[in-house]
Amino acid sequence: MPDLIAKPALGHAPLTLAGTTLTEEPQARITAIAPFPGQTDAVARALGMAFPAPGQVVESGGRSLVWAGRDIAFLIGDAPTVALAASVTDQSDAWVTLALRGPQAVAALARLVSLDLRRVQAGQCFRTGLNHMPLVLIVEDADRFRLMTFRSMAQTAWHEVQDALEKVAARAALTA
């Protein structure tokens, strides 16, 4: 196996506007786990983690299991070391993860995501859209979010969030 060099999707420096920072997160190991029918509990036992209910993130031992759709979750962190009664695929290279953290994060995302994010809590996640792009939105806290979209769309996703952040910052400057 050749020794490949991992490269970030963008390599952009963090961008801070209106006290809110957009960053490209380090690439993590992402393993999609789709339990075979009736095997969800067995998969959870083998992983030593509860299988997340819709819209939930389960954290354990430095890994998170993020609900990613009907009967599928993404294990973020070390790959499973045991056989699972599930379809298991390494999707690490397929996604880019951005983070948006700060007081204007919700206002910026309101321009891109058709969900009311004003009352969200840590441990929630949403499968939705970032404008026209697919999005897994992970809530770290009320004003801290991780945004996963397809790596091939990384540049567009960054541009869209930057654009929203610039407009929110311009409005904040007017009303300051």
Nearest one of 30, 46, 41 to 95, comparing CA atoms:
30
Number of residues that bind another protein (CB under 8 A): 12
Contacts of 84 (CB under 8 A, 6+ apart): 33, 35, 43, 46, 47
Interface with another protein includes 70 (CB under 8 A)? yes
Work out which of 129, 140, 150, 162 binds another protein, going by CB under 8 A. Answer: 129
Supply 10's token pair.
């963008």
Interface with another protein includes 126 (CB under 8 A)? yes
Q: What is the DSSP letter of 92?
A: G
CB under 8 A: which stretch of 39-47, 126-134, 138-146, 154-162 binds another protein? 126-134
Work out which of 114, 121, 175, 176 binds another protein, going by CB under 8 A. Answer: 114
Work out which of 12, 111, 127, 167 binds another protein, going by CB under 8 A. Answer: 127
Contacts of 49 (CB under 8 A, 6+ apart): 58, 60, 63, 65
Nearer to another protein, 51 or 126 (CB): 126
Work out which of 28, 55, 92, 144 binds another protein, going by CB under 8 A. Answer: 55
Interface with another protein includes 123 (CB under 8 A)? no
Nearer to another protein, 18 or 30 (CB): 30
In angstroms, rounded to a whole number, what is the distance separating the alpha carbons of residues 18 and 5?
35
Supply 116's token pair.
């009311």
Backbone φ, ψ for residue 157 (5° rounding):
-60, -45
Interface with another protein includes 128 (CB under 8 A)? yes
Work out which of 8, 14, 19, 69 binds another protein, going by CB under 8 A. Answer: 69
Question: Which residue type is seen at 22?
Answer: L
Nearest one of 138, 117, 115, 147 to 55, comparing CA atoms:
138
In angstroms, rounded to a whole number, what is the distance separating the alpha carbons of residues 16 and 148?
19
Nearer to another protein, 52 or 102 (CB): 52
Interface with another protein includes 51 (CB under 8 A)? no
Where on the chain is the footprint of another protein (CB under 8 A)? 54-55, 69-70, 72, 114-115, 126-129, 134
